[in-house]
Amino acid sequence: MQVNGDLGNIKTYLLKELEDLYTLSVPIGQLSTHELNERMLAITDILDREVAVYMNRQGKIVQVSLGDADTVDLPEVQRQARSEHSLSGIRCVHTHPSGDVRLSEPDLSSLRRLRFDCMAAIGRQDGKIIGSMGFFTGDLQEDGTPVLSVYGPATEKILDQINLNMLITVVNKKLNALTTKSTAD
């Protein structure tokens, strides 16, 4: 599997660590795992660069990317949604080298544009893994823009207790209902 991003000057063992992320999986409905978070943050700690993984709803890692200290390029990830109005079927978990896990405007813009199931940022604070997560609510603002909600910063344990399957199901139902309503008008 290919690692995306600027890989020039990356030592062979770190490239192998990035490639090995593809061998991991995440339980269905869970945001991430401690092992995946630790491995991503270990690479980030060494390189001071963002690491991003993209997972499908079955928890399979479908893409790994290496960015710079502030951003990571978002490669084209094949949508797995049944409808253009539904969420993409892909979630993104990425590191923030600074440890500030609040989602940035580029993070939220990518979430909105690519219709990820969710976008999460992880980092370390006082030696513990923390993160934030952004997601669609299924509602629209007055101008028709989808509403996003952000949760966190929170501990890794709390984030892993969020039932993504339920969240995605509810949001997709609401988005599809809005689409059905707007086409009926």
Confidence of residue 182 (pLDDT cuts 50, 70, 90): low
pLDDT given for residue 23 in this prediction: 97
Q: Partners of 66 in the beta sheet?
A: 5, 51
Q: How many domains does the chain have?
A: 1
pLDDT given for residue 161 in this prediction: 93
> Residue 173: pLDDT above 80?
yes
Kindly state whether residue 126 falls inside one of the protein's structural domains: yes
Query: Which whole-number Å values give the CA distances from 78 to 9, 44, 55, 150, 165, in the listed order?
Result: 29, 26, 11, 24, 19
Specify the DSSP class assigned to residue 156: H
> Residue 143: pLDDT above 60?
yes
pLDDT given for residue 39 in this prediction: 98
Kindly state whether residue 77 falls inside one of the protein's structural domains: yes
pLDDT digits (tens, 9 = 90+) for 24-60: 999 999 999 999 999 999 999 999 999 999 999 999 9
Kindly state whether residue 8 falls inside one of the protein's structural domains: yes
- d(Cα 118, Cα 162) in Å, to the nearest integer? 12
Q: Residue 173 belongs to what domain range?
A: 3-180
> Residue 138: pLDDT above 70?
yes
Backbone φ/ψ region at 141: left (φ over 0), alpha (ψ -120 to 50), beta: beta
Kindly state whether residue 185 falls inside one of the protein's structural domains: no
Find, among 110, 149, 112, 145, the residue nearest to 133 by Cα: 149
pLDDT given for residue 85 in this prediction: 72
* Strand 51-56 with 90-95, pairing: antiparallel
Kindly state whether residue 168 falls inside one of the protein's structural domains: yes
Cα Rg of the chain (Å, integer)? 16
Confidence of residue 180 (pLDDT cuts 50, 70, 90): low
pTM above 0.75, yes or no: yes
Q: Partners of 149 in the beta sheet?
A: 135
- Helix ranges restricted to H, 21-150: 34-47, 105-114
